Amino acid sequence: MSTWKEFTKGILKENPVLILVIGLCPALAVSSSANDGLGMGIASLFVLVMSSLVVSALRKVIPSAIRIPIFIIIISTFVTIIDYVMHAFQPELYANLGVFVPLIVVNCLVLGRAEAFASKNSVWLSVVDALGMGVGFALALTVLGAIREMLGNGTLTLFNIEMLNFGPSFKPALIMIMPPGAFLTLGFLMALQKRMSEK
């Protein structure tokens, strides 16, 4: 029961983007399409789970005086791995995400989970927590990207497959895939979330 709770808290009750309001930079910058949002979400999920795993496994040997530099080394190692692997296997996605792939290293979500959770809990619980948070983050990015892509481009693409196309008669609101649309969509999503949680 408690394991399940650790997992689901990241998805709704403590969703990183909508409730904790962290990891905003990638959430807004790469959500101009559902595909990019999902790709960024999966990349962050990988880094989050792997670094939580390593941090919690080493939590007893890491001296607390130098724990932050060690966390940073661990995180940046996994960030560099995903950086090169994505470049090799998904060049198009890599080009779309650009500088935001190496910047996963400063995503407060990753260091925050390492410091607040993984350094104090068992490997199993830390991985579950990281999975929940990562899935919550990826979901938020994908939903944000899906809304923006549908309204701003008239299409919906997931896993590189075009799922929906509103056709040429649909006049997309370009502003939605431009920077102001990102802030606007997230603002409305947050208000909606507040409305739902207070009902």
Partner 1 sequence: MITNDLSWYFILISALLVNNIVLIRFLALCSFFGVSSKVETSVGMGFAVMFVMVMACSMSWAIYEFILAPYNLEFLRTAAFILSIAALVQLEELYIRKMLPELYKQMGIFLPLITTNCAILGAAFLAIDYKLNFFNTIIYAIGVSGGYMIAIILFAGIRERIELAPVPHYFKGYPIAFITASLMSLAFLGFSHLFGL
Partner 2 sequence: MRDTIKLGLTLAFICSFAAVLLFYVVEKTVPMIKENERIANELKRKEVMTDAVTIEPNSTEAPEYYIAKDASGNVIGHVLSASERGYGGLIKITVGVATDGSIRAIQLTKLDQQETPGLGAKVVTAKFKDQFKGRKVADLKVMQDGGHIVSITAATITSRAATKAVRDALEGFLSKK
DSSP 9: H
DSSP 158: E
Considering the complex, state which of residue 58 and residue 190 has its C-beta at the smaller distance from partner 1: 190
Residue 194 engages partner 1 in binding (rule: CB under 8 A) = yes
C-alpha 105, offset from chain centre: 12
- Residue 20 tokens, joined: 């904790």
User: Looking at 40-48, 53-61, 144-152, 180-188, which segment touches partner 1 (CB under 8 A)?
Assistant: 180-188
Neighbours of 51 (CB within 10 A): 27
Report the C-alpha gap between 93 and 145 in whole angstroms.
14
Ordered alpha helix ranges (H), 58-107: 67-89, 91-97
- Residue 27 tokens, joined: 């959430």
Considering the complex, state which of residue 83 and residue 129 has its C-beta at the smaller distance from partner 2: 83
- Residue 173 tokens, joined: 């609101």
* Residue in 21, 68, 73, 191 binding partner 2, rule: CB under 8 A: 73
* Residue in 4, 5, 21, 84 binding partner 2, rule: CB under 8 A: 84
CB of 69 to partner 2, least distance (A): 7
* Residue in 33, 107, 157, 185 binding partner 2, rule: CB under 8 A: 33
Residues that bind partner 2 (CB under 8 A): 32-33, 61-63, 65-66, 69-70, 73-74, 76-77, 80-81, 84-85, 87-89, 91-92, 95-96, 98, 152-153, 172, 174, 177-178
